[in-house]
Structure 1
Amino acid sequence: MRRAQRNRSQLPPCYNEGFLEKRSFRDKVGRRLWTALCGNSLFFYNNNKDNDYVEKQDLSNFISLTDDLSMDRKLDAARLHLRLKEDDIYLTAPSLEARELWKGFIFSIVKLEVPTSLNLLPGQIYMLKKALEQETERRKELAEKSAVAQAPVSVPMTEPGDYLSLHSEMPACFYRVFRDEAMLLLEKHKEQGNLLLRLSRDGSAFAVTTRQDFNGPVFRHYRVTRIPDGSYAIAIDNPIICPTLHHVTEYLIEKTGGVFKPLVLEHTYEKNIVFVEDNQENGERTLRTTSDSPVAPKVSPIPAPRQKKCSKEENIYVDPSDEENNVNQDKPYPSPALSPAPGGKVLVHQKTVPDMRIGPGGALLPPNERPRSATMTDGTRPKRPAPTMPVQEILNDELRRALQLRYVSD
C-alpha cells in the first residue's frame, strides 16, 4: 500500500519501533526499513529520521504470527511470518530478543491482551501493559467519535450564555490542558493531588486523568461526554451518568474510598519579609529575614512650641513684632517696668508728650526752654537740674590728670 501524505506527529501513539527487513509474497528481495507500530498498523520508513512513511500495513485483518525457521544468510537474524487476509509478509528482526519483543507488541495490540507464552523480561512485560492500556483507550475514543458522527444530535446546541455559565461552574480541579500536560502537572504536584479534570484532545468532551504509584507512576484517563439531556457520562464499560461535572469527580473520589484526591493548586504568599542585603566589606549578598516580633514603627515626637523667655538683663525696648502670636494686637502695650541703669539709677520713662513751642522765625524750641520775657522772675522761672558732665569729658579729664602726674614724675 502506497503512503498517504501524513506526518508522523499525526499518527496514533507509537508502541514499538526499530529496523526490520520486510518482504512480501510478491517481492523477490526484502528491504531494510524503519518500522513503527502505531495504533493498529505498521508504518515503514526509509530511515528513522523521515516524517513520511513509504508503506503502511493494517493489522485489522490479522490471522497469525509465527516464527519462520527457514535458514537465513545472517546467522543471528530471526524471521517472522505475518499472515493477513490480503497478504503474507515476512519480517526479519536483527536478533531473537528483538523478535520476541515484536511478537509481544503485535499480539497485545491485535488481541488486546498481553501474551504469557513469550520469553520476556519484567520490564518488557510492563511496556506491553502500557501499550495495551493506550490502545484500549484509543479504540474507545474512536468508537465514541463514530457514534457521535452517526447520531443526528449528539450534544445539544447551547447559547453563549450557557457556555459561559458551564465554564464558570467548573470544579476546582479543572485545568485547560491536554493529556501530556495533565500527566506532567500531576507528576510535578503529586503531593497535592492525583486527579484532575481536563479537556479532551479534540475539544468535544472532557476527560479525567489520575496518577498512582505502582512500581512507578501509573496514569489513567477516563473520557467524560455530555449527553443530550445536559448531564455527563463517564465512558466506561458500564457508563456512569452524573448530572454535573462536580458529580463526576465526586463519584470517582467516593467509589475509590478517597484514594483519588483532586489536584487544587492555590496561590501561595510569603509568610515573612525577605530581602537581599549587600555586604559592603566583602561584596557578598545574603538573604535576610526581618524579625517576627511585632514592633511598632518609631514616630518622631512633635516638637513643642518655643516659649520666649525674657531675662532681667534684656533690653526693655522690645520690638512689638517679637511678641508671641497669641497676644491680641488690638490691646495697648503695657508700660514697661522700670529697669536699673548701668550706673544704678532708675530711668524714668516719659509717659506724656511735652508741649512743643515755636520760637521766633518759626523755629521749634526744646520743651525745657522758654522764651525770655521781662515779666519772668526767679519764682516763676522753672528750675533746671544741675548739669552733669558728659562721660567723654570725664574720661578726658582723668586722662589729662594721668599725663600730668606722669610728666611731674619724669
Structure 2
Amino acid sequence: MSVHPRVVHMRRESITALPLYYSGHLHKKQTKDKTFKKFFTELRGSTLFFYKNDQEDTYIEKLDLNQVKSMEKSSTHLTLSLDTDEVKLKHEIPSQLKLLPGQMLKLQEFLNQERRKNCPQPRPPLPPRPPFLQLGEGSSSTDQELPECFYGVNRQEAVQMLQANPENGDIIIRPSTVGNDYALTLRQMTPSGPAIKNFKVTSTDSGLVIKLDTAVTVPSLHAVLEYFMEKTEHRLKPYVVSTYDTHLEPSSFDPKDTSVSSSSTKNVPKAQVAPLQRAKTEEEVQPPPLDQDRVYMIPDDATPENPTVKPATLNDELRHAVKQRRQAIYDAAEGEEQSRYERHISDRQTPSSSVQWINKTQ
C-alpha cells in the first residue's frame, strides 16, 4: 500500500528540519563507485538528501554543499570536490524541456534566500587611526606600538612614580588633558638636587611636535623618547617597572648563633588536664557463679539495704505455693473421706435398729 505523497513530504520535513527548495531524480557517483546510481534527491537548505525512491521518508545519504571546496562543470555532469572525496552528479533533462517564467523566478528566489542565510554578518568599521600612527613608506611596524615608558597617568601620579622609585627610570610619557596630545615628565639631577620637568607633545597631520624653544617634529612617540635620551646623552632612561628584584641586602641572621633562636622561642603554655579519678570499691565485683540448678539469682545491686531481710528466690516461692496447694488438696480429700466414712457407718446402723423394733413388736 503506497503512502500519500503529502504524508511522505511531512515526514521528511520533520526528519530533516530544513526547507525544501527542489526535488527530483539525480544520478550520483563517488570515487569508489564504477557507475552512476540513481536516487530521488531533495535540496533542503544547503544539503542534498538522497532517497531510494520518491516513496521513502528516510534518506540513505546526504551531501552538505558547504563542505564543497571546488566545483567543475562539464557538458555531461557536475564534479564536486570535498576534503576527502569527489562526487559527480548528473541529471537527465529532456532536450525540449523549458522552464516557465514562474519556475525560473521561484528558483531565483530560493537561491537569493539561501545566499542571504549563509552570508556572514559584516563587521563594524574600525575607528580611524591617528595620522601620526599611519604607516609610511619607510616606517616599520614597531612605530605603531607605544613606548614601554607610556603610562595612563596624570601629572601628579607621574611625579609620584618618579620620586618614589628613581631606580626604575627617569622618563614617563603620558596622555595629555587636551585632545589627542601627549606629555612627557622627566626627573633630572641638578647641582641643587633632583628636578621634575614636564614637556608638551602635540599631534599634527605631519607627526608629533615637541614644544621647545625651537619646535621639533618627530614621526612617533618612540622618536620623542629617543630625542630626549640623545639630548641628555643617555643619562636619562625610560621609566620601566621591573618584575624582578635588583637589590640584595646582606642578611643579619647568623645561623651559628643559636642563642638568639633559643631565647626568642616562645613558650607555648600546655593544656593542664586532670587525670580521670576512678571510684574505689571495698571489694572487687566478682562474676556470678554458674548455677547448675538453674535457680534464679538476684543481682548484687538489687540486694536490700536492710540486712535482716532475706531475699526470696523464685524457687522458694514456687515451693511454698505448691506446698500450700498440696495441703489444701489433702485437707479437701481428708474431709471428703471422713464424711463418706460417717455416711457408711450410719447406713450400717440403720437396718439393725429396724430389726430390733420388729422383734419387739412380735
TM-score by length of 2: 0.29
- Max Rg structure: 2
Return the TM-score normalized by structure 1.
0.26
Larger RCO, structure (CA 8 Å, separation 6 or more):
2
